[in-house]
Homo-oligomer: A and B are copies of this chain.
Amino acid sequence: MGRLEAFRKSYGTSAGDSSLLERYFAVRKYSEFICEPLLLEDYVVQPSEEVSPPKWHLAHTTWFFETFVLSNLLEDYNHFHPRYAWLFNSYYEGAGEHSAKPDRGNLSRPSVDEILEYRAYVDQHMIKLIGDGNAAAESIIELGLHHEQQHQELLYTDIKYILGQNPLFPTYHVEFRETPHLEENHSFIRIEAGVYDIGAEKSGFSFDHERPQHKVMLPAFEIRASLITNDEYIAFINAGGYRDYRYWLSEGWEWVKRENISAPLYWREVRGHWFRYALSGLEEVNPDEPVTHVSFFEAHAFATWAGKRLPTEFEWEAAAPHLPWGLRWEHTNSAFLPYPGYRREAGLLGEYNGKFMVNSMVLRGASVVTPANHSRVTYRNFFAPHYRWQFTGIRLCKD
């Protein structure tokens, strides 16, 4: 097992029951570790609006600790640089103005070296603060670590986009396995009708939008044990799935025509064979691996073509104990909306998730690049229905 896999594994397993300081170290180190295989040039570019330059992620996650921990809790804290608050605020209106998201790739400065200095500076102060045992800070530091883990997943997906849209198809790391193991059980599992507890309990970390736990009445349904594979998806392509309006939601059909979509992201056909860019390079599509990088629109169209449907997020959570999951974020047919009794908190947390509760669909599970201890059965990921650059997949349901 190579160094990459070893680190990724050890990082995931050791972090569970360690001290806050140990976890702080591990999480912060892992962000830089993810970037190690890059050339300096790769840290800078932003080839699509939803993608951020890796150096931006490294700075923004640091800004989070500086803004919400150090500035608030450390008396006489001096900001590392007066303009970084503006440069590295992502979308927190409550934290002042911020630079435009599509401009992130226009900024050659601060340089990667300066950002690494910024990280070291903030880490030094954070270590002191954690060492001093500031109880008030613990929950927001905890949130900051989960925040950085979210950006670790984005680092992988944004790096993949940066390299994968480059016509030279540079490899991120030859060792990287996007599908560490295959799933072989294509049968459907029956889940009985009933009232199920959905959402996170109060104890343990969870995001606000996973709470409160509440009861949902579900009819009986069946759900596939394994994700849809590439060869199943190729059958959809070969059946003309991308050219037949009947399988598509209206907005999806407009998207297919406007963007000329005819296959998952990163796929290209060369003399009758399908290839796909992966973090290990451009390789022929393995028919047995789960299809990846499909939008909600594509997942929905595939399900319609197959005479099945996507699960709701409630069905998914009820079925999760019976399923192997964690290879791909799984599209659900649920819109991202508040749970009954959800109340958008004042300040930071209100902006963290609550303000996005419109026009997004929920994805459940986790993916191969989700930090291992950043995964929960109640986790609700959410994106606009046309996005494809995350490691997404398809799981089907039937009544």
Which residues of A does B touch, CB under 8 Å? 39-47, 55, 83, 86-87, 91, 93-94, 99, 103, 105-112, 162-163, 165-168, 170, 195, 214-219, 245-246, 248-253, 296-297, 300, 304, 333-335, 337-338, 340-341, 344, 350, 355-359, 361, 385, 399
Chain B residues within an 8 Å CB radius of A47: 103, 106-107
Q: How many angstroms from the CA of A13 to the CA of B144 in the assembled complex?
A: 59
**Contact call B43/A41, Cβ cutoff below 8 A:** yes
CB-based contact B46/A109 at 8 Å: no
Chain B residues with CB below 8 A from A94, complex form: 245-246
What's the nearest-Cβ distance from chain B to residue A195, in Å? 7
**Does A109 lie within 8 Å of B250, measured CB to CB?**
no
B105 contacts A356, CB within 8 Å?
A: no
6 closest A-B pairs by CB: A335-B335, A47-B106, A41-B108, A93-B245, A250-B355, A42-B108
Partner of A39, one of B45, B46, B111, B195: B111
Give A378 to B335 CA distance when docked, in angstroms. 21
| B337 and A108 contact, CB distance less than 8 A | no
Complex interface: chain B residues within 8 A of A103 (CB): 47
**Given known A-B contacts A108-B39, A219-B214, A304-B344, A358 and B45 have beta carbons under 8 A apart:** no
CB-based nearest B residue for A350: B246
Please state if B358 and A41 are interface contacts (CB–CB under 8 Å).
no
Choose among B44, B167, B195, B338 the residue that contacts A333 (Cβ–Cβ < 8 A): B338
CA distance A337 to B107 in the complex (A): 37
Give, as a whole number of angstroms, the nearest-CB distance from A43 to chain B: 7
Contact B337 A334 (CB under 8 A): yes
CA distance A248 to B355 in the complex (A): 7
Which B residue sits closest to A354, measured CB to CB? B249
Say whether B217 contacts A45, CB under 8 Å: no
Does B304 contact A250, Cβ atoms closer than 8 Å?
no
Contact B249 A110 (CB under 8 A): no
> Does the CB pair A112–B41 fall under 8 Å?
yes
In the complex, what distance in Å separates the CA atom of A105 from the CA atom of B385? 27
B39, A355: Cβ atoms under 8 Å? no
The answer for the CA separation of A216 and B253 in the assembled complex, in Å, is 32
- A391 CB to closest chain B CB, in angstroms? 21
A340 to chain B, nearest CB (A): 5
Chain B residues with CB under 8 Å of A46's CB are 106
- The residues of B that contact A344 with a CB separation of less than 8 Å are 304
A-B contact pairs, 20 of them (CB 8 A): A39-B111, A41-B44, A42-B109, A45-B105, A46-B106, A47-B106, A83-B168, A86-B167, A93-B246, A106-B165, A109-B168, A217-B217, A218-B340, A248-B355, A249-B355, A249-B357, A297-B358, A334-B337, A335-B335, A340-B399
* Nearest CB of B to A118, in Å: 13
Residues of B within 8 A of A217 (CB): 195, 215-217
User: Chain B nearest CB: distance from A259 CB in Å?
Assistant: 15
Check A358 against B341 for contact (C-beta < 8 Å): no
CB distance from A236 to the nearest CB of B (A): 17
A389 to chain B, nearest CB (A): 14
Of the candidates B99, B252, B385, the one whose C-beta lies within 8 Å of that of A167 is B99
How far apart are the CA atoms of A93 and B245 in the complex, in Å?
Answer: 7
Q: A106-B166, A219-B341 are in contact. List 14 more A-B contacts (CB 8 A).
A: A39-B109, A40-B111, A44-B44, A44-B45, A44-B108, A45-B105, A47-B103, A86-B167, A94-B246, A107-B167, A108-B162, A333-B337, A333-B338, A359-B385
| Chain B positions within 8 Å of A253 at CB level | 93, 355
Residues of B within 8 A of A249 (CB): 355-358
How far is A94 from B247 in the complex, measured between Cα atoms in Å?
12
A166 to B103, CA, bound (A): 10
Instruction: Name the B residues within 8 Å of A399 (CB-CB).
Output: 340-341
Minimum CB–CB distance for A25 against chain B, Å? 27
